[in-house]
Amino acid sequence: MWGVVSVVFFLFNVLPGDPARMMLGQSATKEQVDAINKDIGRDRPVLIQYLFYLNDISIFSIHEVKNTESILYLDETKYTSYLKLFPVSSSKEFIMKAPYLRRSYITRRQVSDILADTLPETGVLALASMIFASLIGILLGILSAVKKDTWLDTGSLFFAVLGMSGPSFYIGLIVAMTFGYLWSKEFPFPTLILIFFIGAASIGSIAGIIKKKSKKLNETLGDYIIHKLLLWPFVGFILWTAGYLINLRWDVIPFIDNYIVMPGTGLNNEGSLFVIDDYGNEGMELKNIILPALTLGIRPLAIIVQLTRSSLLDVLSQDYIRTAKAKGLSFYTIVFKHALKNSLNPVVTAISGWFAGLMAGAVFVEYVFGWRGIGSEIVGALDKQDLPIVMGGVLIIGFIYVIINIIVDIVYGILDPRIRLQ
């Protein structure tokens, strides 16, 4: 945390620009600018500013209790909760306090209050995204490992690669436009794709029956039909897309324009967790979290699928798994009770890292969906050179990252007894 504090402070204090000038405007006099710089402590050398900043954000610090003009003065409007421990000199006390993250240059609000308003919404968004990514990712990873080299395996890996290929801000724009605007009220489903989907499902069901009840020759035929003809929905989508593009130019394929109108998503393309209605009342709108959480969770989901698959395949090849099979344990007992638990360590690492990363990396997604979180607050502060908000936000995110890593170390010991023994 000291390293984060040091890097963040010196990085943002060497940036060009004068916050005092931005606060007062270009018509401000030099005296006014100097007065503001003195008030916010920017009239001293950078090293002195750094030491004062460490004193402010530290839980234990030294403060002046008599001289009200000193920058170290124990101002109760800044340090709202503190405990005097012992005197250092005739006028200074060693105290324990809550970290003071300074005030916003623009609004003059305490940074801690600003972050307290926005951090919960980012935390809820990141948590919802990771729950979605973890549950679906682990499930798909298990299916890929258990059904290795089948269409389920290749389909899951294809989905994982596709999820990693799209940047969050680009996926967010597509998701917001498609599910929050175009299909919000109704969903026109192309009839051609539906026909191919029903046909593939019917043939696949028949093939499953053939595989189950027939001899070896027909079992091979059944496998072929299941693996190959279930791709029919993709064929239908390709044909419909090609026909639609042709109709845009010549309008010669009337069947392509037939749709079955289905109910829409009912979701908004923008909105935060708490919204204010026309009467000024604030209420929670849980449906607003669906699209940003889906967008934010796609990339970690892709990683979790691949990690779960590879780790579970490695564990399933271990000697103790073969012993469990030899003892006659059921397949599901072997996978879920023995193999899965011992294969989750790299998955837990990925989940923890991604959760902390989502706390910091939700900036673009929050911006696209109008989500009022810490990411959008930091971006706005950067635009205005409101450095206390930027530094406070980065410090909070760094602190969360450290805490999550500690929790992960504890979870390792719970999941894997070998780590406790070591």
Domain limits of the chain?
A: 2-97, 111-185+273-421, 186-263
Report which listed range, 8-22, 100-114, 374-388, is most confident. 100-114
Mean pLDDT of 303-322: 86
pLDDT at 82: 87
Checking 163-168 for CB contacts under 8 A at 24+ apart, the result is 163/298, 163/299, 163/301, 163/302, 164/299, 164/302, 164/303, 166/298, 166/299, 167/364, 168/295, 168/296, 168/298, 168/299, 168/361, 168/364, 168/365
Whether residue 219 is predicted with pLDDT greater than 50 in this model: the reply is: no
Which tokens is 406 given?
A: 């500690």
Give the percent of the chain with pLDDT over 70: 84
pLDDT, tens only, 326-384:
888 887 788 887 788 778 878 877 787 777 777 766 777 888 888 888 888 888 888 87
Q: What is the mean pLDDT of the chain?
A: 79
Out of 70-74, 114-118, 120-124, which region has the weakest mean confidence (pLDDT)? Answer: 70-74
Q: Which residue has the higher pLDDT, 367 or 294?
A: 294
Whole-Å CA distances, 80 to 77, 99, 110, 112, 116: 6, 10, 11, 12, 15
User: Chain centroid to CA 399: how far?
Assistant: 16
Mean pLDDT of 260-286: 80
Confidence of residue 218 (pLDDT cuts 50, 70, 90): very low
Whether residue 215 is predicted with pLDDT greater than 60 in this model: the reply is: no
Mean pLDDT of 27-43: 74
CATH, domain 111-185+273-421, list 1.10.1670.40, 2.40.128.50, 2.60.40.10, 1.10.3720.10: 1.10.3720.10
pLDDT at 208: 58
pLDDT at 95: 92
pLDDT at 96: 92
Strands 186-190 vs 259-263: parallel, antiparallel or unpaired: antiparallel
Which tokens is 84 given?
A: 């005097």
Mean pLDDT of 213-222: 50
Whether residue 236 is predicted with pLDDT greater than 80 in this model: the reply is: no
Q: Please provide residue 275's backbone torsions phi and psi, each rounded to the nearest 5 degrees.
A: -125, 155
pTM: 0.75
Mean pLDDT of 382-400: 84
Q: Please provide residue 230's backbone torsions phi and psi, each rounded to the nearest 5 degrees.
A: -70, -5
Mean pLDDT of 90-108: 87
Out of 81-85, 163-167, 283-287, which region has the weakest mean confidence (pLDDT)? Answer: 163-167
